[in-house]
Chains A and B, each alone.
Chain A
Amino acid sequence: MSSVVLKNIVKRFGSYTAVHPSDLEIQEGDFVTLLGPSGCGKTTTLRMIAGLLDPSEGEILIGGKRVNDVPIHKRNLGIVFQNYALFPHKTVADNVAFGLKYRNVSKDEIARRVEEALNLVQLPHVGGRYPKELSGGQQQRIALARAIVIEPDVLLLDEPLSALDANLREDMRVELKRIQHQIGVTTVFVTHDQSEALAMSDRIVVMSGGRIEQVGTPEEVYNRPRSEFVANFLGASNILDGVCRERGAETATLEVPLFGTVPVPQDKAAGISDGPAKLVLRAEKLTLMDARADITGMIAADATVETVDYQGQTVRYFVRAGDRSFQAINMINERPFPEGSAVKIAFRSQDCAALPG
């Protein structure tokens, strides 16, 4: 178990910069997720930590030691790949034992630890089989067992769940988190799936265009986005241009079109100053109500439903208010508002966040 520190790390491929100067500190035992769309530099960053790519600039420290010049096979890392990358010509037991053979571990000890690892991933009886005889989910568990059996300093997970189908993915999510808790290994997880990131991480590093946009706990990046990108990538947001009129001890007052004055809690309005500002309205926090409903305690505007995207438990509305369209994701009690109906869109001011304009 070790901490991972990236100091001013840069990666260029020819004239293309995949990762702009970035700093990142990962605490010992933390589960940290690099989250972002494809091409944001998250996998490049992971591969630099792994030693599969050399950084163009900057330093990588694992457990306080600079590892820039340490080749991958001497870094003592466990890596789990998206496509499992099991050795097809070796049995499951030989796959799991592979890393131990290079670590001066006695035969008996290898057998014991392989069994232990297979137990940990809840596949104790498959040691004699070949990888292709297992399902995708089982193969990924074996890949995980193979990575953790060597007691790595850091566990690196490169989109390990994206090749699995939806139900299995959620099971594996819980499973992965349980195992990580149990062994307490520092873990870096790469994904483009925001719900995976929110569910599993101690901290999330949101990346975009080769830059780190925000680092924080799931609750922080979700409720207090620091940029428009973060607000939109973690769920859908409606972002309104406005003006900050006043910053008090508890709230910052924003003036936005349609809704008028909105007092945003100070902790969700960090970094804004008087003048132009943006109001972030989460689609899940924007409620559609009957045009005549009581809106006491809420801020509301009249709107017309344009599109209804029915999803069973929830519904996603696209509504028009004034000259712009809003997105709202609501739970459904009975049946959704039909397209074309006149409604009110309403929200509570404490559910908003503000960004510098």
Chain B
Amino acid sequence: MRSASGLGWHLIRGWALLVYVFMFLPVAVVVLLSFNASQFGSFPMTGLSFRWFVELAENEAILRAFETSIVLGLLTSIISTTLGVLASLALVRYRVPGANAISTLLIAPILVPEVVLAVALLLFLNFLGIHKSFALLLFGHVIFTLPFVILVVQARLVGIKREVEEAALSLGANPVQTFFQITLPLMLPAVLAGALFAFTISFDDITGTLFWKPGGVETIPTQIFAMLRNSISPEINALGTVMIVMTVGLPLLGVAVARRLAQRSGG
């Protein structure tokens, strides 16, 4: 009986391990090959080298794409977080007519396939006679990062008792002081998490970006996509490694910071 269930668990464990290996092996290979000295982005490895990272740093197009991605990500993050916090406050703390409908509408972009959203926005703006621009790209990114910010911030805000704010008001703080002294510090972990979400999602995005970007503007993902069409350069491996460090490392760092903040605030 015991050995049978023991065997069952071993099988499940082994299976789970295989699934993870299947998913992460390619990523590991990319990271590994980015340090390959050979000029072909494939095995066998001929030696350890940073040359592809150096070439990456000297590639004008990639640097421009990198800059675009960072600026786009930061702006998306700032705008999305600001809007998301305001929307969450309105939905959770005030009685807004049609709050449910508004909430659904704001969350909807997560549910709609991104391609559909991308095409729809493009067609709509075409119909209005507005041309593709960086602002449009930013607008698109804000639309589909906003739900993530709202979901995270709203969940936190619901957990902040209204009485805590009422107590601050009763002690003489006006509503604005109460927000900055009480509400914002208490929801800061969620705000930071939302901002990070928005940044990484924007930084990672390719589907919407391909539709919305004006000619000549490339982000990192679209740049990789374009490079792949010509050849598989080892530079792509190096770029992939940089992307992994940014999109995995940054949220992990964020979570660590948020956890420390939360610990301090008893949240």
Contact = CB atoms under 8 A, between A and B. Distances in A.
A334 B175 CA distance: 62
Given A82-B163, A98-B171, A99-B172, 12 more contacts: A50-B166, A71-B174, A73-B170, A74-B172, A81-B163, A81-B166, A85-B161, A87-B182, A102-B172, A102-B173, A132-B266, A150-B172
Contacts of A98: 168, 171, 173, 181
Interface in A61-87: 71-79, 81-83, 85-87
Contacts of B17: none
The 6 closest A-B pairs by CB, nearest first: A99-B171, A89-B265, A102-B172, A88-B266, A85-B163, A132-B266
B66 to A, nearest CB: 37
Interface in A179-196: none
Interface residues of B, number: 23
A130 interface: yes
B167 interface: yes
Contact of A77 (B168, B170, B177, B267): B170
Contacts of B164: 85-88
29 contacts: A50-B170, A71-B174, A72-B166, A72-B169, A73-B170, A73-B171, A73-B174, A77-B170, A78-B170, A79-B167, A81-B163, A81-B166, A81-B167, A83-B163, A85-B167, A86-B167, A87-B164, A87-B167, A87-B168, A88-B164, A89-B186, A89-B265, A89-B267, A98-B168, A98-B173, A102-B172, A132-B266, A146-B167, A150-B171
A52 interface: yes
Please classify how large the interface on chain A is, using the bins under 10, 10 to 19, 20 to 34, 35 or more: 20 to 34
A335 to B, nearest CB: 48
Contacts of B161: 83, 85
A356 interface: no
Contact of A72 (B170, B177, B181, B186): B170
B98 to A, nearest CB: 17
Interface of A: 50, 52, 71-79, 81-83, 85-89, 98-99, 102-103, 130-132, 143, 146-147, 150
Interface in B164-196: 164, 166-175, 177-178, 181-182, 185-186
A83 B160 CA distance: 12
A52 B165 CA distance: 11
B264 interface: yes
Contacts of A72: 166, 169-170
A73 B177 CA distance: 11
B170 A102 contact: no
A103 B172 contact: yes
A173 B181 CA distance: 32
Given A85-B161, A130-B266, A76 B172 contact: yes
A87 B173 CA distance: 13
Interface in B209-252: none
A133 to B, nearest CB: 8
A78 B170 CA distance: 7
A87 B161 CA distance: 10
